[in-house]
Structure formats: C-alpha cells, structure tokens
Amino acid sequence: MATDYYAVLGVRRDASQDEIKKAFRRLARELHPDVNPDPKTQERFKEINAAYEVLSDPQKKQVYDLGGDPLSSSGGGGAGGFGAGGFGNFSDIMDAFFGQAAQRGPRSRTRRGQDAMIRLDLELDEAAFGTTKEIQVDTAVVCTTCSGEGAAPGTSAQTCDMCRGRGEVSQVTRSFLGQVMTSRPCPQCQGFGTVVPTPCPECAGDGRVRSRRSLTVKIPAGVENGTRIQLAGEGEVGPGGGPAGDLYVEIHELSHPVFQRRGDDLHCTVTLPMTAAALGTKCPLETLDGMEEVDIRPGTQSGQSIPLHGRGVTHLRGGGRGDLIVHVEVQTPAKLDAQQEELLRQLAKLRGEERPMGQFAPGQQGLFSRLKDAFNGR
Ligand SMILES: [Zn+2]
Ligand SMILES: [Zn+2]
C-alpha cells in the first residue's frame, strides 16, 4: 500500500508547488543525516525525499493522485531509475543545505544606482565663507508610471516558466566521474526568475527615467578646488527603481583678480614707488571682508611681506581663518627729469651714498628671502 506523501510532507492535498517545496526544505533541514544521524530519522528522511520526488513532479504527482505508485512503476531498476525528477530533488536538497546554492537563486531586478558627479564653479569669497547654491542635476529617477516595477500599469512581472522562478537552469551530464550537474543563468529571464510580459511604456521596463531637477546644496566654508561634497542618495536611481547612488559636487574655484590662494592663505602683491616705501604710506585694499588699509611702514623693502592675520580663507575643519599676505614690490623710477635727478643726487650726497660699494653675498639673497617669507606666511 502506498504511503500518504501529502501527510509525510505535512501539506494539504491542494497544496501549491511552492508550499510543497517549502515544506520539503524545512523537513530536509531538520532530518538530514548530517544533522541527525539517528536511524529512525534517516528512515523519515528517505520518506520525505520520496514524497517530494513524487509531489514536485507534475507527471508523477498525477499518477499518484490517480492512485498509482509512480516510484515503483518507474521500476526496471538500473539506468532509467535515476530520472530528471530524481535529480530535481537532489538539487533542491543542495539548495536547502548549501546556502551558496540558495543565494545563487534568481537575481534581483532591483539594483543600487551609480554615483553621479557634478562640477560647481565658486567665487573665492563663496569658498572662503561657505554658501548655499541651487544646482541643476540630470539623473535617473524612479519611473512614476510603474513605480520602478518596470511593468505596464495593470500588469505585473510573472514567474518565468523556463526556470520556474529559480533564475537558473540546471543540466546533468554524465562523465567518467559520474553525473555532474551544472547550472547557468536562465536564458529566458536572464536570471531574474521573472519575466515582464508588458514593459512599462514610459521607461521601457527599466523602472527609471532621466529627469532634470533642482537641488539646494550647502557649501561649507573653506572648500577648495577639487573638494567633493557628498550628497547621499542624490545620484542615479538603479535599475528596477533601485536605491539611488550618491551625488558628488566637485568644487571648481574661479580665479580671483587680486588674490591667489595657497592653502587657506591668500597672497597678493602691491607695487609701490621707492619714495612711498622709504617714507611709509597706507594703501587701501579690498579684502574679502571689505575695504582695509594696508600699513606700509617707513623703510619697507622690496620683497617684504605684510600679513593681515585672519583675513584669509576659513579652515574647513576646526574653524579659524588663514592670513592675507601682501607682498611688497618697490619700483625704482626709470625716468627722471632734471629737477628730480638733482634732488636724488642731493639725497645721495646727504646719505653718503654717492659711490656705494654694494654688499655682496652668495646666491640670490633677495629671491631666497622672498620665497622664505611666502613659505612662512610672513
Ligand atoms: Zn516605468
Ligand atoms: Zn527563467
């Protein structure tokens, strides 16, 4: 008398293939000889295998439902005994036990989107103090027609009939080592396990469309050329309406007519006539903070630098600001009229500088000290 296979798996007679498979997997995990070597359990394990072999195969199930015993009728033994159905079982057992096989399953239609990058031009003062910018971005967004599903409204994705939703098809080949089973992605559904019979007309089934939108970006004070600001989840939406990648806003600092930025310090040059350098003066300078007077002390040398502390760029981390460094360039008059020449000769005479010897030293002292000043920010 035939065993009640439905009772063995603990499912109703009208159970779906999915329910049968789930019941089998659950029992197989519990009763597998590796887990539970007890002989009685092993007997049960053989039973559930037999039950699943029959109930998972539509043809055998039909024979069984009509009162026959599909396992003994396949008889004859030997070669024919190990049919495709039997192997289906085998791979399901593998699935139940080796997570690898189960994980391999159908791949998701939904994937994370790519990161996107946009370049943003900033004026020096915007970089120095931070700003808020409205930017236009062009990225993939979730298709509103199908909500990212990829199926036309009123339709839905269906389980692939070639792989029965597994996303892969298995093939058994015989070799001298015995039977070898190989799996490959299902050619009908490309491994998704589902097919979309009527793709969404808006996105052609991709689940996303390109769109232009405005974003408000807060730029922190102290950014510089090449700084990237990451906006999480504002990049490209993935296939199947998958989560969006990140958007990177790369700063491009525009050059300033007067100031050159080095780190968080700003540098500029002021050219002064010889007389002003000697007598001292005050020069107005439009800094990032507005008009200021640069104090040129009497006797200022060419190449000297005058620092305006805290008038540079805000430090991106840690607050505080760099300096503004004014480099002095003293101009010697190139053309003198008779009166000016006479005055200068009188001055030279007064200072005993009519025939100066000059002071010689190795290298290019002037240039060295200028570089050193710039480097030290003095
Ligand atoms: Zn769509
Ligand atoms: Zn398929």
- Token pair 């050159």: residue: 260
Separation of CA 197 and ligand 1 centre (Å): 13
Q: Tell me the pLDDT of the chain averaged across its residues.
A: 85
Q: Do residue 319 and residue 350 come from a single domain?
A: yes
Ligand closest to the CA atom of residue 206 = 1
163 annotated to bind ligand: yes
Ligand nearest to the CA of 106: 2
Instruction: Tell me if 104 is assigned to some domain.
Output: no
Would you say 310 and 129 are in contact if contact means Cβ atoms under 8 Å apart? no
Exposure string (b/e) for 57-95, b if CB count within 10 Å is 16 or more?
Answer: beebbebbeeeeebbeebeeeeeeeeeebebbbbbbbeb
Distance CA 41, CA 237 (A): 50
Question: Does one domain contain both 177 and 267?
Answer: no
Q: Which of 327, 345, 325 is nearest to 336 (CA)?
A: 345
Does 268 show up as a binding residue in the annotation? no
DSSP 200: -
Mean pLDDT across the stretch 186-195?
92
Predicted confidence at residue 260, as pLDDT, reads 96
pLDDT-derived band at 324 (thresholds 50, 70, 90) equals very high
Q: 10 Å Cβ neighbour count for 53?
A: 24
Q: What is the CATH number of the domain that holds 143?
A: 2.60.260.20
Please report, for residues 133, 162, 190, 269, the alpha-carbon distance to residue 143 in angstroms, rounded to integers and kept in the order given: 27, 28, 22, 56
Cα of 330 vs centre of ligand 2, distance in Å, is 81
**Are residues 172 and 73 located together in one domain of the fold?**
no
| Cβ density class 215-241: b for 16+ within 10 Å, e for less | eebebebbbbeebebebeebbbbbbbb
Give 174 Cα–ligand 2 centroid separation in angstroms: 24
Question: What is the model's pLDDT at position 88?
Answer: 42
Cβ distance 329 to 271 under 8 Å? yes
Residue 172 CA to ligand 1 center (angstroms) comes to: 39
**C-alpha of residue 241 to centroid of ligand 1, in Å:** 9
Question: What is the predicted pLDDT for the residue at 99?
Answer: 42
- Is the per-residue pLDDT at 44 higher than 90? no
Least distant ligand from the CA of 205: 1
pTM: 0.61
pLDDT score of 285: 97
Nearest CA among 284, 236, 202 for reference residue 111: 236
Whether 67 and 91 map to the same domain: the answer is yes
Q: Are 234 and 283 members of one domain?
A: no
- How far is the centre of ligand 2, averaged over its atoms, from the C-alpha of 48 (Å)? 27
Does a structural domain hold residue 284?
yes
Ligand 1 mean position to 206 CA, how many Å?
Answer: 7
214 shares its domain with 173: no
**pLDDT(94) > 80:** no
| 283 known member of a binding site | no
Q: Where are the alpha helices (DSSP H) in 57-147?
A: 58-65, 70-73, 84-97, 99-104, 124-129
Could you tell me which of 146, 73, 136 has the C-alpha nearest to residue 110?
A: 146
pLDDT at 374: 58
What share of the chain has pLDDT > 90, as a percent? 57
Range of the domain at 325: 260-356
Res. 28: pLDDT tops 90? no
Q: Say how far residue 228 (Cα) sits from the centre of its chain.
A: 12
Cα of 86 from ligand 1 centre, angstroms: 41
Maximum Cα–Cα distance across the chain:
136
CATH of the domain at 43: 1.10.287.110
What confidence score (pLDDT) does residue 115 get? 95
Whether 106 is in a domain gets the answer no
pLDDT at 102 (0 to 100): 43
Please check whether residue 111 lies inside any domain of the structure: no
- Number of domains the chain is built from: 4
Which one has a higher pLDDT value, 122 or 77?
122
Report the separation in Å between the CA atom of 201 and the middle of ligand 1, taken as the mean of its atom positions.
6
Q: Which residue has the tokens 């789930």?
A: 22
The protein residues having their C-beta less than 5 angstroms from ligand 2 (an ion) are: 160, 162-163, 186, 188-189
Q: Provide the pLDDT for residue 336.
A: 94
What per-residue confidence (pLDDT) applies to 199?
Answer: 94
Q: What is the pLDDT of residue 73?
A: 43
Cα(29) to ligand 1 centroid in Å equals 40
Are 273 and 311 in a shared domain? yes
- pLDDT at residue 176 in the model: 72
**Same structural domain for residues 281 and 334?**
yes
End-to-end CA distance of the chain: 103
Determine whether the annotation assigns residue 200 to a binding site: yes
Band (366; pLDDT cuts 50, 70, 90): low
Ligand nearest to the CA of 239: 1
**pLDDT score for 66:** 82
Residue 15 pLDDT grade (very low, low, confident, very high; cuts 50, 70, 90):
confident
Ligand 2: distance of its center to the CA of 167 in Å? 5
* Separation of CA 42 from chain center: 50
Instruction: Give dist(CA 195, CA 188) in Å, integer.
Output: 8
Expressed in angstroms and rounded, the spacing between residue 197 Cα and the centre of ligand 2 is 13
123-127, 223-227, 370-374: segment of lowest average pLDDT: 370-374
Residue located via tokens 């159970």:
15
